[in-house]
Each structure stands twice: as structure tokens, then as C-alpha cells.
Chains A and B, each alone.
Chain A
Amino acid sequence: MAHSLSTPSFPEEVLEHVFSFLSSDKDRNAVSVVCKSWYEIERCCRRRIFIGNCYAVSPRTVIQRFQDVRSVELKGKPHFADFNLVPEGWGGYVHPWIAAMAAAYPWLEEIRLKRMVVTDESLELISKSFKNFKVLVLSTCEGFSTDGLAAIAANCRNLRELDLRESEVEDLSGHWLSHFPETCTSLVSLNIACLGSEVSFSALERLVARSPNLRTLRLNRAVPLEKLPILLHRAPHLVELGTGAYSAESRPDVFSNLAEAFSACKQLKGLSGFWDLVPAYLPAVYSVCSKLTSLNLSYATIQSPDLVKLICQCHSLQRLWVLDYIEDAGLEILARSCKDLQELRVFPSDPYGAEENVPLTERGLVAVSEGCPKLHSVLYFCRRMSNAALVAIARSCPNFICFRLCIIEPRTPDYLTLEPFDTGFGAIVERCKELRRLSLSGLLTDRVFGYIGQHGKKLEMLSVAFAGDSDLGLHHVLSGCESLRKLEIRDCPFGDKPLLANAAKLETMRSLWMSSCSVSFGACKLLAQKLPRLNVEVMDERGPPDSRPESCPVEKLYIYRTVAGPRFDMPDFVWKMEEGAGLRYS
């Protein structure tokens, strides 16, 4: 189209209409840098924002740019906080965001938070500030109690989704659920699986009964199995169900009521929960098995034969989360029965034991990758592995997007050859061209990082533990992985040089975590001095880093790019390395 640069091609309203079809952040970001007028139009009509690191930008900056946002997603703590590596009090407070948005976005409808500290005060503010509030998802959050939930229940007239994922909630009582007014009939999704105490069953039943659009219901452990049929009868259109405790005194009517209730749920596609699972009651779900696409049995401590009896009926299964009680034999049957399987997670039943407690080895994973052509996402905990198996897996599944292997004992070698797993993981990155996420384990030398740097061009997230020999390993990754956004490393012999040699790379990534490595305090200071758009945070519970020599390695290091400048809400064991000033702590 030959138009001069000074005349706009289309009137603004047309452009805005075109942009309204762009939902992905990437597309909107691309559009906004085309020219000034496109930037202005785009920012007026962007409704959904995603902020992967809440400290990368300030609420004020966001609000100044985007004036009418309806949906916000924020992430706080680094991923390793899930494993207790980030000390209490590190940060990730959502309140400043809520306070700013309460004033600026009265029409905000959706808030999704991950690994953030949320207080009752924040929840109350949410419930009172946004008249049309619809969706609250709190994933692995903490800092609030059931009082905050009561405020949400009471005040959000049009609430559609309340999803507490795996948050830590101070459970003062189950009464909060009764705060949903009788006029609230809009619920589509309710997930309270993480709550410990009992909620009033009659309040729950009435809530379910008056929510005709309810499609996802995840109960907590305290909801007894005998009462589950009552809820199912009230919500026969459920698509996703998380049961409560799945055990009861052995009575024939419990079983038959349960089986009948499940058979009435014709749209059920996903099941989870199954706490305290007693195998005798499992057949009650058989009637829904053939339509199930998602099954989370990862809290069910039952043996392989019972697991298998259930799984081999789930021919439509796409996602399975299960404990290693399934054993290699069970996974072999899975491979034969569930040809549509896309995602598999096998969790350890005895992660702290010194020996193998169930026969789950590399064989199971090899079988599933050979038998399930659509498999693209794996999380697998086991105690032994071989390079041959990894090579076979890579050959069978070139479509992996996410491959996370955790060989439980650090630095375990290939059990057949006693060699490191460089070759095996090398095969994975070489064959799986679309690999975006990788977690390594076992004995590994610098060579594996060479392969990763060479082949992992689409790799966005890499997790490394107890691996590598020298700085070369980290250098390979930082210099080779073009798409790298998040890198988290623990207990590896990586030091200053690869960081300093690839300093600019850090500005192209969301964040870098290094703990129990060999990065010196001096190098941290230098990075902070030279790269003002990075926040370099040193966490050291031994006291201020400048009380030790500069060459002394820091305990934990978290570097992230930011346009917000230094943060001021750090606890006293976190030091921010500042340009010029050297050392600053709150």
C-alpha cells in the first residue's frame, strides 16, 4: 500500500478495531512499536496485561500507559520460592498494585496472581473497589486468611471465578463461604482445595445449587465422600471436579450413591482430589472414565494395580498427574491405553528416602514416550536413568515443549555406564527443536551446557542443580540460548566470569537466580554499577556482604531487569547493589 508516511493509512477507529483482535501480548507489543500513532492507539485499547515480575515495572508506569485495563496478571517471587529457597519476607507484595489500580481501573474484572503476598486488606480493597469484579486467581500466594475470602464472597456481586490453587491460607474458620449472598448466582469456577478446615456443607450445597453456570468445582479434603453425591446432583453439568477425602466407612449405599451421581455427570472431563483414596471406591468413577481428558491422582496413595484399572479405561486422557506408585508396569499400560496423552507428571511418594521404594525407573518414561506420540510435556521424578533411555526418549518424542527430569539423588550417574548424562540431555535438546522449558538433574559436566547453548535456541526456561564443572558451563548457556528468559541455578560451580562476560544478556532475560554458587560480592557490585536497568539483589543471612571480603561468594543472587529502579520493600537480609553508591539496604 503506497501511502506517504505522514498520512495515516486508516482512521483511528479502524485501527483500534483491528487491534481488538489481537489478544496475545507479543502481538500487541509488536504493534505498539511500529510508530507513535500505533503506540497511542494500542495503549488506549489494551485491556489485558501480564507482568511476569512485579518488580520489573511500577504500578504508576503501567497505569500511565494503559488507561482502561480489565484484566491483570502479576507474578512475584522467583520460582525457587516453591522449594523454600527464598527466605520469608523477601517481597512480592501485591498491595501497592491493588491500591493503585483501585483508583485507576474501576472497571477491572480479573486479577491473577502467582507467588505473591496478598493480605486481607488487599482482598477487602479488591472486593470494594471493582464493581464488576469477576475473576480472582491466587496461585501459590500467601499472607491472607479466610476473613479476606469472606470479603470477596460478600461484596463481589458478579463473581465468576474464585480459584485458590495452592495458596497458603490462614484458616480461621469455614464460615467465610456463607458470606456469598443468596443473590450470587454467577459462579463458574470455585477451587478451595487448599483450605484445611471444614466449610459449612449446607452453605456449600446452596451455593452450588444456585450456580447454574458452575463448571469447575474443587473441594477441600474436609468435604466427606458420603456427601459428594449431593453436590454432584446439584451440579450435573460440571466439567472439572476435585473431590474431597475419597474414603468412607465401608457401606454399600455410599458406593452406589456415588456411582449413580457420577454417571449423571455427562460432561465431566477432569478429575482431581482423591485424598486418602480407598481403592474400593474408585470404581464409582468408571462411568466417566472414557471422556476424561485430565486426571490428577497425585495425592492418591494407592498401588499400581488399582491405579492401572482406572487409567486403562481413560482412552481420551490428555493429562495425567500421578505418584510413582504407578510403577514402570503401570506406565507401560498407560502407554498402551492412552494414545492421546500430552502431559505426564510422576511425583515421588518418598522423596526423602535413601532407596528406591517402588519399581519406577527410566523404563516407565521410555514406554510412555514410545507409546504416546502426542506427548509434549513431562515432569518425572525417579532414582535411576541412563543416557540410552534419554536418547530413546528424544528419538520417540521430538515434539517436547517441556522436559523436566528429576533424578532424586544429586549427581547420580548413568546407572549402566556410570557416565554423566551429557549425551542424554544433549539428545533431548538436539532433537526437540521446540523445547521451551528444561530441568536437568543427575551427574552433568560442562559438555551438556555446550549442547544446550548450541541447540536450545527456543529454550525459555532452564533449571539447573548440582551440575557442571566450571564457568564454561554457564557461559555456554548465556551466550548460546537466544530465547532464554528465566535461568535458575543452585549448587553449581559457576562464578563471576560468565556473568561478567555476558552481562548484557541479563537485560534480555526476565530473571536469573543463583544460589550456593561461586559468584562474588565484587562481581555483583560491578554488574549493578554497569547495568542500571538490572536490579541485583544479594540475599545473605550471614550479615551484610561488605562485612566480608569482596571475593567472598554470596549465598543467593537474584538479578532481574526492571524499569522501576530500586525497590524499597526489602527485608534486612536482602541487599540491592546500586550504581555508584555501592551498598544499600533497607
Chain B
Amino acid sequence: MDLQLGLALSSIPDKGFDLNFSEIEASPVKNEKCNIKKRNSVEAFEEKNADDHVPQTLALLVWDEQSNQGDDVDEPEISSVTTNNADRGFVGWPPINSWRKKICQQNRPGGFVNCVTVENGGGHAGGGGRGRNSMYVKVKMEGVGIARKVDLNLYHSYQTLLQTLVGMFGKCQQSVQSYQLIFQDKEGDWLLAEDVNWGNFVTSVQRLKLLRKRD
């Protein structure tokens, strides 16, 4: 894709930084100090201490090219996507506040949302409210990268569920016949959905997959 930006890239040097700022020049530190090898910043300042005059735009260190070289410039890490943020223990990341966190945690116990078991336990203060009425499970379609989530409480039969799922993944309704639905139950086994009646299916399903029917 064409990325013409019109940014004046040339005025920003990649290395170091050219200081011809009047504020820095006002500070009476001679250049030669800056050419000395990198030192502790406190040392660098102490030689200037004799001055009572603190310039208006006080710089406690004169910035020049040398200030920035000598640092090890690490290659930026490209993090692997396999561990998530919670596992790696980044406090406060992603930046969502505690209210939102509470809602997310309520909606996602352990990754597969199956609230049939949680419903009666409650979990949040509710006066007349019933607590959650939804039952989200993850659905993957063979050949499609991004999984979806579907609320099984909205459906009462495999027919309507399949139609919705096929629509969710952007396939046309005629192709419903060419997919079969399998599900993973509480023991971790993958079963053919139609082998089980709807009621049993709903109480044991952990996640769903849509596979293309082979001849």
C-alpha cells in the first residue's frame, strides 16, 4: 500500500540530536565537557555548581549527540503472542479500570463461558435481577482464522444454531449442508453434535467447531 505522508522526515536525524537551541546555549557549560566519555550525571553537573545563576530554562545536563550514543540500543522485542498479558504479569495492562475488569471477569470465568453452572450461584448482588442469562461458547470454523462466540441460550435447535453460525462466519445459507458441528464436552472429548439431543448438548458443551463435510 502506498504510504505517502508528506512528513518532513529529513529534519529529524536518526542519531543524536542537533542542539542549536537558545535555551541550551544560555547554559554556561563548555562543549568540551560533553565530549568527554559518558559520566555520571551528578559529576557532570557539579562542575557547574559554582554558578549561582540558574538560567531560566535550566538544563541539568547539556544534551548532545554523545549523550545518546553509548547507550545500548536494544532491538525492540517482538513479543510472542502465545502468552497473554495476565500470564506475563503486567500490572495495569491493558489499561482498563477496575469496574471494567470486574465485568470482564464475570463474563469470562476461565476462558470458556458456560454459565449454566454459574447461574444459580449468583456472583453479583442482584435484587430482583436473575443474574446472567447468556451462555457464550467459543466457535471455530475450519479454515477461518478468527474464532467467534455464540450465546447458546438464544437457540433451541441445531438447525437454528447452524444457520446462525454459518452466517456468522460469512458463508451463505446454502452451504449449511456442507458443514458439520462437533463439540467438546466436559471430559474434553470431541463429539458429533447431532448424536446428542439438544438438552444434553447444552449442558455439556464447552466449545464448538464447524468442520467441512468430507464425501
List A residues at the B interface (Cβ < 8 Å): 80, 82-85, 140, 166, 168, 194, 196-198, 201, 221-227, 244-245, 247-249, 275-276, 278-279, 298-299, 301-303, 347-359, 381, 387-388, 391, 406, 408-413, 416, 418, 420, 423, 426-427, 430, 439, 443, 445, 447, 450-451, 454, 463, 465, 469-472, 475-476, 479, 490-491, 493, 495-498, 500-504, 522-523, 526-527, 530-531, 550-551
Q: Is the CB of A551 within 8 A of B99?
A: no
Q: Which residue of B lies closest to A325 (CB)?
A: B149
How many residue-residue contacts, CB under 8 A, span A and B?
233
Report the minimum CB–CB distance from A549 to chain B (whole Å). Answer: 11
The complex places the Cα of A498 from the Cα of B79 at a distance, in Å, of: 27
Q: Which of B91-149 contact A (CB under 8 A)?
A: 91-101, 103-104, 107-108, 111, 124-134, 136, 138, 146-149
Given A225-B129, A245-B129, A522-B40, answer yes or no on A82-B12 (Cβ-Cβ < 8 Å): no
Q: Is the CB of A454 within 8 A of B12?
A: yes
Q: Is the CB of B41 within 8 A of A80?
A: no
Given contacts A299-B103, A530-B58, 11 further A-B contacts (CB under 8 A): A84-B92, A247-B133, A301-B134, A354-B81, A381-B94, A411-B78, A470-B71, A472-B68, A479-B63, A497-B61, A501-B24
Name A526's contact: one of B11, B45, B108, B151 (CB within 8 Å). B45
Given A222-B126, A443-B78, A469-B76, answer yes or no on A83-B71 (Cβ-Cβ < 8 Å): no
Report the minimum CB–CB distance from A238 to chain B (whole Å). Answer: 21
Q: Which residues of B contact A247 (CB under 8 A)?
A: 129-130, 132-133
Report the minimum CB–CB distance from A115 to chain B (whole Å). Answer: 11
Q: Which residue of B lies closest to A246 (CB)?
A: B129
Report the minimum CB–CB distance from B61 to chain A (whole Å). Answer: 4
Q: Which residues of B contact A412 (CB under 8 A)?
A: 79
B5 CB–A CB distance under 8 Å: yes
Q: Which 3 A-B pairs have the closest CB atoms?
A: A224-B128, A83-B92, A245-B129
The complex places the Cα of A430 from the Cα of B7 at a distance, in Å, of: 7
B73 CB–A CB distance under 8 Å: yes
Q: Is the CB of B68 within 8 A of A527?
A: no
Q: Which residue of A lies closest to B13 (CB)?
A: A450
Q: Which residues of A contact B146 (CB under 8 A)?
A: 356, 358-359
Q: Is the CB of A350 within 8 A of B99?
A: no
B74 CB–A CB distance under 8 Å: yes
The complex places the Cα of A443 from the Cα of B81 at a distance, in Å, of: 13
Interface SS majority for chain B: loop
B196 CB–A CB distance under 8 Å: no
Q: Is the CB of A501 within 8 A of B61?
A: yes
Name B85's contact: one of A244, A352, A522 (CB within 8 Å). A352
Q: Is the CB of A497 within 8 A of B67?
A: yes
Q: Is the CB of B130 within 8 A of A249?
A: yes
B211 CB–A CB distance under 8 Å: no
Q: Which residues of B contact A249 (CB under 8 A)?
A: 130
Q: Which residue of B lies closest to A518 (CB)?
A: B71
Q: Is the CB of B60 within 8 A of A500?
A: yes
Q: Is the CB of B92 within 8 A of A80?
A: yes
B56 CB–A CB distance under 8 Å: yes
The complex places the Cα of A227 from the Cα of B129 at a distance, in Å, of: 10
Q: Is the CB of A522 within 8 A of B41?
A: yes
Q: Is the CB of A223 within 8 A of B127?
A: yes
Q: Which of B50-83 contact A (CB under 8 A)?
A: 54, 56-63, 67-68, 71, 73-74, 76-79, 81-83
Name B3's contact: one of A348, A388, A502, A522 (CB within 8 Å). A388
Report the minimum CB–CB distance from A543 to chain B (whole Å). Answer: 19
Q: Which residues of A contact B172 (CB under 8 A)?
A: none
The complex places the Cα of A445 from the Cα of B75 at a distance, in Å, of: 10
Q: Which residues of B contact A522 (CB under 8 A)?
A: 40-42
Q: Which residues of B contact A83 (CB under 8 A)?
A: 91-93, 95-97
The complex places the Cα of A347 from the Cα of B99 at a distance, in Å, of: 12
Q: Which residues of B contact A351 (CB under 8 A)?
A: 85, 94, 96, 101, 104
Q: Which residue of B lies closest to A420 (CB)?
A: B76
B160 CB–A CB distance under 8 Å: no
Q: Which residues of A contact B17 (CB under 8 A)?
A: 472, 475-476
Q: Is the CB of A504 within 8 A of B57?
A: yes
Q: Is the CB of A475 within 8 A of B63?
A: yes
Q: Is the CB of B92 within 8 A of A451?
A: no
Report the minimum CB–CB distance from A374 to chain B (whole Å). Answer: 24
The complex places the Cα of A125 from the Cα of B12 at a distance, in Å, of: 56
Name A279's contact: one of B11, B124, B154 (CB within 8 Å). B154
20 A-B pairs (CB sep. < 8 Å): A83-B92, A83-B96, A221-B125, A222-B125, A224-B129, A276-B132, A348-B94, A349-B104, A353-B111, A358-B146, A358-B149, A408-B94, A410-B85, A411-B78, A451-B7, A491-B90, A495-B71, A496-B41, A497-B67, A502-B59
Q: Which residues of A contact B111 (CB under 8 A)?
A: 353
B84 CB–A CB distance under 8 Å: yes
Report the minimum CB–CB distance from B201 to chain A (whole Å). Answer: 20
Q: Is the CB of B125 within 8 A of A198?
A: yes
The complex places the Cα of A202 from the Cα of B112 at a distance, in Å, of: 39
Given A451-B12, A496-B41, A504-B58, answer yes or no on A411-B3 (Cβ-Cβ < 8 Å): no
B36 CB–A CB distance under 8 Å: no
Interface centre among A352, A353, A447, A471, by most chain B C-beta atoms within 10 angstroms, is A352
Q: Is the CB of B93 within 8 A of A465?
A: yes
Q: Which residues of B contact A356 (CB under 8 A)?
A: 146-147
Q: Which residues of A contact B3 (CB under 8 A)?
A: 387-388, 391, 423
Report the minimum CB–CB distance from A540 to chain B (whole Å). Answer: 15
Name B76's contact: one of A221, A358, A411, A472 (CB within 8 Å). A411
Q: Which residue of A lies closest to B44 (CB)?
A: A500
Name A227's contact: one of B95, B128, B148 (CB within 8 Å). B128
Q: Is the CB of A500 within 8 A of B57?
A: no
Given A354-B82, A454-B11, answer yes or no on A503-B71 (Cβ-Cβ < 8 Å): no
Report the minimum CB–CB distance from A139 to chain B (whole Å). Answer: 11
Q: Which residue of B lies closest to A79 (CB)?
A: B95
Name B148's contact: one of A301, A349, A359 (CB within 8 Å). A359
Q: Which residues of A contact B12 (CB under 8 A)?
A: 447, 450-451, 454
Interface centre among B91, B100, B107, by most chain A C-beta atoms within 10 angstroms, is B100
Q: Which residues of A contact B92 (CB under 8 A)?
A: 80, 83-85, 490
Given A416-B1, A497-B63, answer yes or no on A196-B125 (Cβ-Cβ < 8 Å): yes
Interface centre among A245, A388, A445, by most chain B C-beta atoms within 10 angstroms, is A245
Interface centre among A244, A302, A388, A501, by most chain B C-beta atoms within 10 angstroms, is A501
